[in-house]
């Protein structure tokens, strides 16, 4: 496959972005990393020699486009609104910055903008609202370039941030927490392993030349759902944990809680993609690697 003149992934130091970058390098893409000078780069320290990097708090975004021929922008940077983040800070990451990139992409005639979105309804949180708002902007630019919106279900894998539900559950169970307080756990969710998510992004990227200009939407998940209480019990079983008490029903459901969610993978499957890992296989891989991390 021919090299791209340049592809910009945002969120390069995050869990999803770092995994995508490593696969892009293997696939022979030229990668331009956008980060901040104070970003923790531990996830990509092993591949920094293989990418071109810019600190966007020290250089104008316009300069990056002037110095490079950019074909694709892959927007993975996300602020989930955890740790009491103020809405304005969240909007900067989820709306303002990607909108700046979108406009620069239009001016420099990039081929494609790929956005990482969420399945969540906009009423669930500031995070889901901001992602919904950017999606609307992305649709407005669809007559200028290929605008691909990738809506992700709950993805998971080793070494993710343990403020996320799956990582928190796995970390608590592997460390034999005395108890975990939970909702009743009747929400149904679609969990997909990180390697399958990365493969979906690579599949879309490889098919860019075949895609039409306009707005395209792909949902990424397994297409199957499981109740959260059954998911947590499965993690506990795979980890062979007999000590941690699972206190279902202690925490109330959040306002506007989605009780059933799973991806419609019809469109992404048309690109010859399908998930390779079952839930059990993905969790086993994750738990094995997380156990190794604890030993170190």
**What's the average model confidence in pLDDT over 49-56?**
93
Asked if 114 and 148 touch (Cβ cutoff 8 Å), the reply is yes
Reply yes or no on whether the pLDDT at 226 is more than 90. yes
Asked if 111 and 69 touch (Cβ cutoff 8 Å), the reply is no
The percent of residues in the chain predicted with pLDDT above 70, rounded, is 96
- The confidence band for 4, taking pLDDT boundaries of 50, 70 and 90, is very low
Asked if 180 and 244 touch (Cβ cutoff 8 Å), the reply is yes
**pLDDT (0 to 100) of residue 296:** 63
Q: Which residue has the tokens 């021929």?
A: 69
Q: Which two tokens stand for residue 87?
A: 């809405």
**pLDDT (0 to 100) of residue 255:** 84
d(CA 220, CA 197): 7
- Neighbouring C-beta atoms of residue 38, cutoff 10 Å: 7
Asked if 72 and 92 touch (Cβ cutoff 8 Å), the reply is no
Asked if 146 and 208 touch (Cβ cutoff 8 Å), the reply is yes
The percent of residues in the chain predicted with pLDDT above 90, rounded, is 77
| Domains detected in the chain | 1-152 (3.40.50.720)
Asked if 94 and 134 touch (Cβ cutoff 8 Å), the reply is yes
- Contacts for 155 with CB less than 8 Å, ≥ 6 apart: 16, 191, 192, 193, 194, 197, 220
**pLDDT (0 to 100) of residue 1:** 30
3-class secondary structure, 226: strand
- Neighbouring C-beta atoms of residue 17, cutoff 10 Å: 25
β-partners of residue 247 are 181
Comparing 100 with 83, the larger pLDDT belongs to: 100
β-partners of residue 160 are none
**What's the average model confidence in pLDDT over 71-76?**
94
Q: Phi first, then psi: what are they for 106, rounded to 5°?
A: -65, -45
β-partners of residue 113 are 73, 147
The enclosing H or E element of 293 equals: helix 279-295
- The confidence band for 83, taking pLDDT boundaries of 50, 70 and 90, is low
């Amino acid at each position: 496959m021919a090299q791209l003149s340049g592809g910009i992934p945002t969120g390069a130091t995050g869990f999803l972005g770092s995994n995508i970058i490593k696969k892009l390098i293997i696939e022979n893409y030229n990668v331009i990393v956008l980060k901040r000078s104070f970003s923790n780069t531990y996830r990509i320290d092993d591949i920094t020699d293989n990418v071109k990097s810019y600190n966007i708090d020290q250089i104008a975004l316009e300069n990056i486009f002037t110095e490079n021929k950019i074909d694709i922008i892959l927007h993975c940077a996300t602020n989930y609104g955890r740790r009491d983040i103020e809405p304005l800070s969240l909007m900067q990451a989820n709306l303002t910055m990607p909108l700046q990139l979108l406009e620069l992409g239009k001016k420099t005639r990039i081929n494609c903008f790929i956005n990482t979105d969420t399945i969540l309804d906009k009423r669930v949180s500031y995070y889901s609202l901001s992602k919904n708002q950017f999606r609307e902007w992305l649709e407005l630019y669809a007559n200028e370039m290929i605008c691909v919106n990738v809506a992700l279900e709950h993805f998971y894998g080793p070494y993710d941030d343990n403020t996320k539900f799956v990582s928190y559950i796995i970390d608590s169970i592997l460390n034999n927490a005395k108890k975990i307080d939970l909702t009743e756990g009747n929400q149904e969710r679609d969990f997909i392993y990180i390697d399958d998510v990365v493969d979906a992004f690579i599949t879309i990227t490889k098919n860019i030349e075949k895609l039409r200009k306009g707005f395209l939407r792909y949902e990424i998940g397994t297409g199957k759902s499981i109740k959260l209480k059954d998911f947590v019990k499965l993690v506990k079983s795979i980890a062979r944990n007999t000590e941690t008490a699972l206190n279902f029903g202690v925490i109330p459901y959040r306002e506007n809680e989605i009780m059933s969610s799973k991806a419609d993978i019809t469109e992404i499957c048309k690109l010859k993609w399908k998930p390779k890992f079952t839930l059990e296989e993905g969790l086993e891989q994750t738990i094995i690697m997380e156990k190794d991390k604890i030993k170190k």
